[in-house]
Amino acid sequence: MCRFIFIFLLFSLNSFAEEKNSFSKPFETTLNFLPKKTDVSVSISVLGDKTSLFSYQGDKYLVPASNMKLITSYSALKRMGAGYQYKSEIFKKGDDLIISSDGDPYLTSERLWILARSVARLGKKKYKSIKVNQWNFDKFYKGLSNWDESGEPFTAIVSSTSFNFNSYEIHYGKRLSDEKIFAVLGPEESSFCKIENKLKFQSGRSRSIAVNEIRNNTCKLVVEGAIGSSASPGIVYYSNTNPSEYLAYSLYEMLKKEGIEVENPYGGEVFLTEGDLGESLAESKSPQLREILQLLNTYSNNFMTEMVLFSLSGHREKRANYEQSLDLVKGDLDKINQCKDAKIFNGSGLSWDSKLSANCIVEIFQESFRDMRIFADLISGLPIGGEVGSLRSRFRNLSKNFDPSKVRAKTGTLWSKHTISSLSGVTEDKNGRKVIFSLISNYPEPGPGKLQELKRWEEKVIEAIQLHSF
């Protein structure tokens, strides 16, 4: 009897080993698509159980790029809840207006205009100044702006009371009236910053535009380059160096259109707790956290991600501290066995020092799946293959049986110092079984050419999942 049991167990173990080996075969083949010298971490598992389909250096910690946003989103949903809403508010203290926010990452022109309209309805027609309260974050986070000096909007300064992602919005195009090129600060023109328009026409529909900010006592944006004579109007974004002043002037312009006079458009920054801000005149709540996470993950928005991360240690009644917020996220990772050695230096992944493993990210998905408060909103916020966000133009030239729309995954890309690509998410196999994956690849040299090879490898892996039964 004992011998029979031993033989049965031996047969079962051999069958399991052969089954696992058959799982691995289609993925092992895809490794041939990787450029030589590429360091990778790969983990592929069945969602909701412990069946590992393939792991190759799954426990190796590499630079994840924007896959870090998955970790920030996980912690935000876990700690704040999917329905959490930020609040932006206008107060009156004496004859001054004070605008304040608790870290709202989505205070846009539309919402600011609604606040201005609310103030106008109260009937008071004159104020002394507009001040901006920045108490809720204990400092401005400039880590992203230190990444480079290009002024790209993905490196915008992070401040508790922010507006339009703390970036200038410059509208340009050909006027119908005189067929000359215009360049104006938008969504509506503002007296805050002067624009020096150096744009020229070129043939066709292409455009090549650069913006530089020049600051002495005033603000000037130099817009130069060329736009096609048949090109449609467009928008270019540039991170600003004084978000408080930009916000105050924008509110000033909106109030002026409502018939309200403000003597001094910008009365400076203040650092006041809610109880010291004076009388509340108007408030606006942000979209729910689940909607904010959907935007930041679909379009890989660094600014919004850093705003969400910074606010984790705040929640209105307490001043937020960036390092403490990072510690909260690290604490969430320390509770997951596969993530204990993770290193995180910001929330968005715009860092060469942050390190995650593929096993860690896959385990985050598994942990989320076991928690109804998290999983649906974490997955629903991911780009859709071939359709939406950073996956819109991916998964072309694959098998005709491959369906890009069955891929929900977060991308990650860096290439200025090394070449980094990552892709983590969920798809399904040939029989509809849900499969989660994490693919992190680090190539030691910079360059867009190698980046395309890494992305091609990622697509071959996802194709292998969809075309096989596991």
Q: Which amino acid is at 202?
A: Q
In a domain, 388, yes or no: yes
In a domain, 415, yes or no: yes
Q: Are residues 71 and 93 in the same domain?
A: no
Please write the tens of the pLDDT for every residue from 77-88: 999 999 999 999
Q: Are residues 127 and 270 in the same domain?
A: yes
Q: In the chain, count of helices (H) and strands (E)? A: 10, 19
Q: Are residues 399 and 260 in the same domain?
A: no
Overall number of domains in the chain: 2
Lowest mean pLDDT among 146-150, 218-222, 361-365: 146-150
Which of 251, 286, 321 marks a domain boundary?
A: 286
Q: Are residues 166 and 299 in the same domain?
A: no
In a domain, 14, yes or no: no
Nearest to 212 by CA among 303, 142, 166, 150: 150
pLDDT > 70 fraction of the chain, expressed in percent and rounded: 94
Range of the structural domain that residue 33 is part of: 22-81+293-466
Q: Are residues 273 and 402 in the same domain?
A: no
Q: Are residues 184 and 331 in the same domain?
A: no
Helices (H), 272-337: 289-298, 302-311, 322-334
Instruction: Give residue 19's pLDDT.
Output: 42
In a domain, 6, yes or no: no
DSSP secondary structure, 353-412, as one string: S-BEEHHHHHHHHHHHHT-TTTHHHHHHTS-BTTTBGGGTT-S-SS-TT--GGG-EEEEE
Tell me the sheet residues that pair with 204: none
Which of 286, 308, 339 marks a domain boundary?
A: 286
DSSP designation for 292: H
Give yes or no for residue 150 having a pLDDT over 90.
no
Q: Check residue 31 and give left, alpha or beta (phi > 0: left; psi -120 to 50: alpha).
A: alpha
Q: Are residues 242 and 105 in the same domain?
A: yes
Instruction: Give residue 218's pLDDT.
Output: 84
Q: Are residues 300 and 414 in the same domain?
A: yes
Q: Are residues 179 and 194 in the same domain?
A: yes
Q: Are residues 209 and 97 in the same domain?
A: yes
Give yes or no for residue 3 having a pLDDT over 60.
no
In a domain, 17, yes or no: no
Residue 192: CB atoms within 10 A of its CB come to: 21
Kindly tell me the burial class for residue 261, based on how many C-beta atoms sit within 10 Å of its own C-beta (0-12, 13-18, 19 or more).
exposed
In a domain, 424, yes or no: yes
In a domain, 1, yes or no: no
Instruction: Give residue 51's pLDDT.
Output: 82
In a domain, 312, yes or no: yes
Instruction: Give residue 397's pLDDT.
Output: 87
Kindly tell me the burial class for residue 35, based on how many C-beta atoms sit within 10 Å of its own C-beta (0-12, 13-18, 19 or more).
middle
Q: Are residues 268 and 169 in the same domain?
A: yes
Which of 237, 253, 286 marks a domain boundary?
A: 286
pTM surpassing 0.85?
yes
Instruction: Give residue 12's pLDDT.
Output: 39
Q: Are residues 173 and 305 in the same domain?
A: no
Q: What angle do CA 60, 62, 65 make, to 5 degrees?
A: 145
Nearest to 367 by CA among 331, 340, 338: 338
Alpha-carbon gap, residue 61 to 185, rounded angstroms: 43
Instruction: Give residue 10's pLDDT.
Output: 41
